[in-house]
A and B are shown apart, each in its own frame.
Chain A
Amino acid sequence: DIVMTQSPDSLAVSLGERATISCKSSQSVLYSSNDKNYLAWYQQKPGQPPKLLIYWASTRESGVPDRFSGSGSGTDFTLTISSLQAEDVAVYYCQQYYSTPPSFGQGTKVEIK
């Protein structure tokens, strides 16, 4: 099974500043035949279900603000919030869908400093 590890577990960022979350997989999630990384990012606000933000490591879901961006390849990935807004306070999860069972990182809690 692929293990996903996020860092940090939590971070506090000032409004308007950049937030960066790292996600590492225990094996590559890059499928060589189509050159796609099977990696997604979700946002979960308190009391709500997760919401898809990004898939294929860097493709933003429709309606997601462009301050959210994803990057990386192979085993190392990053979610960046370029200018943190109050409504971005949430827990963020990465997920690999390269192999079964699909697996999530432990989550990163983003708060306002």
Chain B
Amino acid sequence: EVQLVESGGGLVQPGGSLRLSCAASGFTYSGHWMHWVRQPPGKGLVWVSRIRGDGTSTAYADSVKGRFTISRDNAKNTLYLQMSSLRAEDTAVYYCAREDIAAAGYFENWGQGALVTVSS
């Protein structure tokens, strides 16, 4: 069974940093692109970032480019999102998501999410 479990969320002050983790199990982790998608409270889904299975290619939404860094450790089956220079508008539930095996681009599985609150 595919499992994605996020951790690392919490309350952080504006300008601060936080690192999210997503522990994956139940599939060949290195074979899949992985993504972060966020959902502000009461709002819709917004794509944040993605990383190729071998970690050699990444992409970011314009809203987080230069502030967030996605990475992965395939030996630990774990995905990361390092967030810095956080702003109030970064407040959201952050989901990690597994892309389909054929790398078409849709999200087959989602974690339960980690809440990040940016507030003073």
Contact = CB atoms under 8 A, between A and B. Distances in A.
Whether chain B is bound by chain A comes out as: yes
Interface of A: 38, 40, 42, 44, 48-52, 55-56, 61, 93, 95, 97-98, 100-107
Nearest to A62: B108
B106 A93 contact: no
B62 to A, nearest CB: 8
Contacts of B104: 38, 55-56, 97
Contact of B100 (A55, A106, A107): A55
Interface residues of B, number: 21
Interface in B2-50: 35, 44-47, 50
Contact of A52 (B46, B47, B106, B111): B106
A33 to B, nearest CB: 13
B63 to A, nearest CB: 10
B88 interface: no
A22 to B, nearest CB: 16
A104 B44 contact: yes
A23 to B, nearest CB: 13
A104 B47 contact: yes
Q: Top 9 A-B pairs ranked by shortest CB distance? A: A97-B105, A49-B110, A40-B106, A104-B45, A55-B106, A107-B44, A102-B47, A106-B44, A101-B47
A101 B59 CA distance: 8
A104 B106 CA distance: 11
29 contacts: A38-B104, A40-B106, A40-B107, A42-B45, A44-B45, A48-B112, A49-B111, A49-B112, A50-B110, A52-B106, A52-B108, A52-B109, A55-B100, A55-B106, A61-B108, A93-B44, A93-B45, A100-B50, A101-B47, A101-B61, A101-B62, A102-B35, A103-B47, A104-B44, A104-B45, A104-B47, A106-B44, A107-B44, A107-B45
B95 interface: yes
Contacts of B62: 101
Contact of A50 (B45, B46, B105): B45
Contacts of B109: 52
B113 interface: yes
